[in-house]
Amino acid sequence: MRFKFLVLSLLPGLLAAQVKPVAARVDSVLALMTLQELVGQTNQYNGFWNATGPLPVGNDWVEQRVRALKQGGVGSVLNVAGVNQVRALQKVAIEETRLGIPLIFGLDVIHGYQTLTPIPLAEAASWDLEAIQNSARAAAREATADGINWTFAPMVDISRDPRWGRVMEGAGEDPYLGSRIAEARVRGFQGDDLSDPSTLAACLKHFAGYGFAVAGRDYHTTDYSAHTLYNWILPPFEAGVKAGAATVMNAFSAANGIPATGDSALVWGELRRRMGFTGVVVSDWGSMGEMIAHGYAADVRDAAHRALIAGCDIDMESDGYLRYGVELARRNPADSIRFREAARRILSLKFQLGLMDDPYRYCGASQPDVRTDAYEMAVKSSVLLKNSGVLPLASGLRVGLTGPFAAEKNGVLGNWRVSAKDQSAQSLAEAVAGTWTYAASSPHSVGQEAFHAELTLNQTDTRANDAAIKALRKHDVLVLAVGEHGYESGEGRSRASLRLSAVQQDLVRKALATGKSVVLVVYAGRPLVLEPWIQDGAAAILWAWQPGTLGGSALADVLTGRREAYGRLPMTFPRSEGQIPLSYDGYATGRPGPKPEVFWSHYTDEPNEPAFPFGFGLSYTSFAYRDLEVTPSPEGWSATVTVRNNGTRAGSDVVQLYVGRQGNGQLYPTKSLKGFKRVILEPGSEARVRLELPREALTQRDGQGRTVAFTRGTLTITVGPNSREGLTWTTTLNP
Ligand code: NOJ
Q: Which residue ranges form the domains of the chain, and what is each CATH number?
A: 372-579 (3.40.50.1700), 623-733 (2.60.40.10)
In this prediction, residue 659 carries a pLDDT of: 98
Which parts of 256-391 fold into alpha helices (H)?
264, 290-293, 300-309, 320-331, 333-352, 371-381
Spatial distance between the Cα atoms of 502 and 482, rounded to a whole number of angstroms = 11
285 Cα to the center of ligand 1, angstroms: 6
157 counts as catalytic:
no
Ligand 1 atom nearest the C-alpha of 252 is: 3
Cα–ligand 1 centroid distance for 152 (angstroms): 7
285 lines ligand 1 (CB under 6 A): yes
Distance (angstroms) between ligand 1 centre and the Cα of 505 equals: 34
Q: What is the pLDDT of residue 11?
A: 39
Ligand 1 within 6 A of 152 CB?
yes
Atom of ligand 1 nearest to the CA of 210: 3
CB count, 10 Å around CB of 727? 17
Residue 219 Cβ inside 6 Å of ligand 1? The answer reads no
Which residue in 174, 284, 506, 557 is the catalytic one?
284
Task: Report how far apart, in Å, the C-alpha atoms of 551 and of each of 113, 123, 568 are.
Answer: 15, 12, 17
Candidate from 148, 205, 283, 318 with most ligand 1 atoms within 8 A of CB, to mutate: 205
- Give the pLDDT score at 615: 99
Question: 108 CB less than 6 Å from ligand 1?
Answer: yes
Per-residue pLDDT at 1: 40
Predicted confidence at residue 17, as pLDDT, reads 45
Q: How far is the C-alpha of 191 from the C-alpha of 502, rounded, in Å?
A: 46
pLDDT at 59: 79
Determine the distance separating the centroid of ligand 1 and the alpha carbon of 205, expressed in angstroms. 9
pLDDT value of residue 6: 47
Q: Is 284 in the pocket of ligand 1 (CB under 6 A)?
A: yes
For 128-171, the pLDDT digits (tens) are 999 999 999 999 999 999 999 999 999 999 999 999 999 999 99
Q: Is 166 in the pocket of ligand 1 (CB under 6 A)?
A: no
The Å distance, Cα 287 to ligand 1 centre, comes to 10
Judged on CB neighbours under 10 Å (0-12, 13-18, 19+), 688 is: exposed
User: What ligand 1 atom has the least distance to the C-alpha of 206?
Assistant: 5
How far, in Å, is the centroid of ligand 1 from the Cα of 656?
33
**Cα–Cα distance measured from residue 66 to residue 73, given in angstroms and rounded to the nearest whole number:** 9
Per-residue confidence (pLDDT) for residue 48, from 0 to 100? 80
Nearest by Cα to 169 from 236, 259, 79, 99: 236
CA of 79, closest atom in ligand 1: 11
Which residues make beta-bridge pairs with 281?
A: 248
| Global pTM value | 0.97
| pLDDT for 18 | 53
Of 282, 256, 257, 246, the C-alpha closest to 267 is 282
Q: Are 360 and 84 in contact (CB under 8 A)?
A: no
Q: How far is the CA of 312 from the centre of ligand 1 (A)?
A: 15
Rounded to whole angstroms, the Cα distance separating 405 from 43 reads: 42
**Terminal-to-terminal C-alpha distance of the chain:** 76
Interval between CA 107 and ligand 1 midpoint (Å): 9
Q: How many CA atoms lie within 13 A of 129 on its CB side?
A: 16
Ligand 1 contacts CB of residue 313 (under 6 A): no
pLDDT of residue 56: 62
Q: Which of 375, 367, 370 is nearest to 137 (CA)?
A: 370
Best of 249, 281, 290, 494 for a ligand 1 pocket test (most atoms within 8 Å of beta carbon): 249
Average pLDDT per 10 consecutive residues for the chain, totaling 735 residues: 44 48 96 98 89 67 92 97 94 97 98 98 98 98 97 98 98 98 98 97 98 97 97 98 98 98 98 98 98 98 98 97 98 98 98 98 92 98 98 97 98 93 97 98 95 95 98 98 98 98 98 98 98 98 98 98 98 98 97 97 97 98 98 95 97 98 97 98 98 98 96 98 98 93
The type of residue at 254 is A
Q: Is the CB of 169 under 6 A from ligand 1?
A: no
Work out which ligand 1 atom sits closest to the CA atom of 155: 5
- Say if residue 735 is preceded by a cis peptide, omega within 30 of 0: no
CB 277 within 8 A of CB 262: no
Spatial distance between the Cα atoms of 126 and 123, rounded to a whole number of angstroms: 5
Which of 590, 569, 573, 572 lies closest to 531 in space, CA to CA?
A: 573
Instruction: Give nearest CA residue, ligand 1 atom 9.
Output: 285
Q: Which atom of ligand 1 is nearest to the CA of 152?
A: 7
Residue type, 707: T
Residue 709: what pLDDT? 97
Q: Are 643 and 624 in contact (CB under 8 A)?
A: yes
Minimum CA distance residue for ligand 1 atom 11: 108
